[in-house]
């Protein structure tokens, strides 16, 4: 239906996105249904992003984030992070159009979730999805999310109003450092095993892991290094703004 009639969905976009998000959040029955739903999300991002009403973009971000957080499919989570980066790039390119759209749309508070009312708030929703993924139990997911978060901030951070940087610091950067540090300190020294195959399930073939990250503690400390360096670099670039 989306492939044939996506341009005509119109006011039904919130329903479509909510249905897809509910599939991502249903962890009891992972499998083909998740993959089909995620393919729909990819189609929306690739073909219909510019056609989405501006008041649906927050729901799109949280839907993509939900697919990133699902624990059963590693490749799906990594692809979701890539989609968040692609959407960030879109926001950067289309800033003028988004500003105009937000000035025209009416918000009535009918949504269960708090609605974003400006472009900065939309950026913060996107960054929050990456912030949550940056403490995922899977090292591949959290490291990818951290790199994407810092790259997005370095690339598009100058688009944020100065007042929004207080939220970036207090709700994103400092909590990321805190949570990653706490996980690194509490991680055990038991050996970790990684398996080839989708999601790294038990049915995959065991893969050797380098001795520098063959325990949970070593992996979380590697993530801590990534987080600390990323936060330090962000402060260095935007110090005049956040000061």
Which tens digit of pLDDT belongs to each residue from 58-91? 999 999 999 999 998 999 999 999 999 999 999 9
Closest CA to 74 of 126, 38, 49: 38
Q: Is the pLDDT of residue 108 over 80?
A: no
Q: Reduced to 3 DSSP states, what percent helix, strand and coil does the chain have, rounded to the nearest 5?
A: 75, 0, 20
Which DSSP category does 191 fall into? Answer: B
Mean pLDDT value across residues 48-55: 90
Q: Which of 123, 69, 73, 80 is nearest to 98 (CA)?
A: 123
Q: What is the pLDDT of residue 61?
A: 97
pLDDT band at 110 (very low <50, low <70, confident <90, very high): very low
Share of the chain above pLDDT 90, in %: 66
**Residue 236 predicted with pLDDT over 50:** yes
Q: How many residues does the chain have?
A: 243
243: closest CA among 168, 176, 170, 166? 166
Supply the pLDDT for residue 109.
43
Task: Output the pTM of the full model.
Answer: 0.86
Tell me if 209 sits within 8 A of 162, measured CB to CB.
Answer: no
Residue 35 and residue 73: Cα distance in Å, rounded?
9
Tell me the mean pLDDT in the region 214-239: 93
pLDDT tens, position by position, 123-151: 999 999 999 999 999 999 999 999 999 99
Chain centroid to CA 184:
21
Q: Taking Cα atoms as reference points, which of 133, 117, 134, 116 lies closest to residue 125?
A: 116
Please tell me the distance from the alpha carbon of residue 235 to that of residue 229, in angstroms, as a whole number. 10
Average pLDDT over the chain, rounded to whole? Answer: 86
3-class DSSP state of 173: helix
Give kind and range of the element (H or E) at residue 115: none
Q: How many CB atoms lie within 10 A of CB 141?
A: 21
Q: Are strands 194-195 and 206-207 parallel, antiparallel or unpaired?
A: antiparallel
Would you give the end-to-end CA distance of the chain in angstroms?
A: 50
> For the residues 27-51, what does the mean pLDDT come to?
86
What are the tens digits of pLDDT across the range 184-226?
999 877 776 654 455 555 455 555 455 565 689 999 999 999 9
User: By percentage, how much of the chain surpasses pLDDT 70?
Assistant: 82
CB 80 within 8 A of CB 65: yes
Dist. CA 117–CA 113, nearest whole Å: 12
Which tokens belong to 216? 């949970």
Closest CA to 231 of 185, 146, 173: 173
Average pLDDT over residues 17-44: 88
Which tens digits make up the pLDDT trace of 163-184? 999 999 999 999 999 999 999 9
Q: At what angle do helices 13-25 and 32-43 cross, to 10 degrees?
A: 140
């Amino acid at each position: 239906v989306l492939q044939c009639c996506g341009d005509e969905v119109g006011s039904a976009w919130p329903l479509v996105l909510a249905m897809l998000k509910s599939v991502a959040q249903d962890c009891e029955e992972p499998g083909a249904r998740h993959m089909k739903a995620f393919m729909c999300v990819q189609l929306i991002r690739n073909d219909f992003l510019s056609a989405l009403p501006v008041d649906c973009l927050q729901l799109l971000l949280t839907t993509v984030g939900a697919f990133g957080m699902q624990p059963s499919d590693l490749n799906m989570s990594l692809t979701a992070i890539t989609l968040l980066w692609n959407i960030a790039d879109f926001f950067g390119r289309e800033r003028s159009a988004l500003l105009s759209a937000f000035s025209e749309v009416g918000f009535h508070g009918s949504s269960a979730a708090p609605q974003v009312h400006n472009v900065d708030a939309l950026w913060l929703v996107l960054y929050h999805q990456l912030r949550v993924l940056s403490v995922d139990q899977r090292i591949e997911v959290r490291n990818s999310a951290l790199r994407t978060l810092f790259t997005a901030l370095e690339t598009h951070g100058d688009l944020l109003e100065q007042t929004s940087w207080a939220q970036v610091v207090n709700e994103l950067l400092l909590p990321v450092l805190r949570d990653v540090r706490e996980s690194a300190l509490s991680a055990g020294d038991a050996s970790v095993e990684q398996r080839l195959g989708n999601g790294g399930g038990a049915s995959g073939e065991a893969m050797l892991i380098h001795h520098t990250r063959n325990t949970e503690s070593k992996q979380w400390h590697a993530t801590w290094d990534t987080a600390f360096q990323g936060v330090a670099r962000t402060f260095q670039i935007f110090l005049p703004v956040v000061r």
